[in-house]
A and B are shown apart, each in its own frame.
Chain A
Amino acid sequence: MNPYRFSPDNAAPASPARRALLAGAALLTAAQSLPALAQLQTNLNELPPLPAMEEFLAGRRVQFARMQLEIPRVADNGNSVPIKLGVLGANAPGAVQSIHLFSEKNPVPRMAVFHFPPAAARFDIESRVRLAGTQRVVAIATLADGTLCVKVAEVLVAIAACLDGS
């Protein structure tokens, strides 16, 4: 009596019908992953679904213009990613009221809000942020007249090569 349920003899599918079924299943799985491949080309001209951001927008329309968001395409380390924010053409006092920064995948989606006083005349900000994995970040500037200018960027965040338990 063979003590093993699956011996080498039993491993390969025996009948042609079974082989066809398995081949079909493999093809179906491959086909289903094609849309995922298409998603690798992230659309930066649409806002990612983000409840915290939607709450802030409260249904207001946004313009994909003027907002400048400089962030590396590939981050050296997700713990500290350099970021530059700015609003093109905004150089009059009070031109920008605030800049919001949202994260698609961080546990705290509303990363930062920069509030400018009416006397402010230059709205460039540089800082360093934490990103919990590859994701999109969204910068939204609220101009003096209430216009919302938006920019979306995607950052690839790799984990460290060697785990560090020091």
Chain B
Amino acid sequence: MADARIQVPPQVRRGENFEVKIAIRHAMETGYRVDEVGKPIKRNVIRELVCKYNGAEALRVDMSSGFAANPLLQFWLVAVGSGEVAFEWVDDAGTRYAERAALTVAG
């Protein structure tokens, strides 16, 4: 399951900046750790995260093992209209994830 939590304000006024938060459950395995028998654990981190607001790219993040495990990201968008804030991310293993949240814009 795409374990992620997205938070947007319950309501925003048109033209206002609003904060978006996303918390993703992903081990962000660096590839530098070894297991109990000394075998290296394969690297698997989120490579890229894209946020689209009503279909238009609103933020793109090139990620690396430099992000903490179970990454948290907070950033700002400009309210242009009601709709949805959608996230897509892909990791080294090629697995694609997606999660979205509805947004209500008044005015």
Contact = CB atoms under 8 A, between A and B. Distances in A.
Contact of B64 (A79, A108, A120): A108
Interface in A102-143: 103, 106-108, 110-117, 119-130
Nearest to A108: B64
Contact of A120 (B61, B65, B71, B78): B78
Contact of B78 (A79, A107, A121): A121
Contact of A79 (B68, B77, B80): B68
A93 interface: yes
A33 B65 CA distance: 34
B78 A127 contact: no
B73 A127 contact: yes
B76 A124 contact: yes
B12 to A, nearest CB: 13
Contacts, number: 88
Interface in A70-100: 79-81, 93
Nearest to B77: A120
B31 to A, nearest CB: 9
Contact of A80 (B59, B60, B68, B80): B68
A108 B59 CA distance: 22
Contacts of A148: none
Contact of A107 (B61, B65, B67): B65
A149 interface: no
B99 to A, nearest CB: 17
B67 A122 contact: no
A157 interface: no
Given A107-B32, A125-B73, A126-B74, A113 B62 contact: yes
10 contacts: A93-B78, A106-B66, A108-B66, A112-B62, A113-B61, A115-B62, A117-B57, A121-B76, A130-B65, A130-B68
Interface of A: 79-81, 93, 101, 103, 106-108, 110-117, 119-130
Interface of B: 17, 30, 32, 56-69, 71-78, 80
Given A103-B66, A110-B62, A120-B77, 8 more contacts: A79-B69, A110-B64, A112-B66, A115-B59, A121-B17, A125-B74, A127-B71, A128-B72
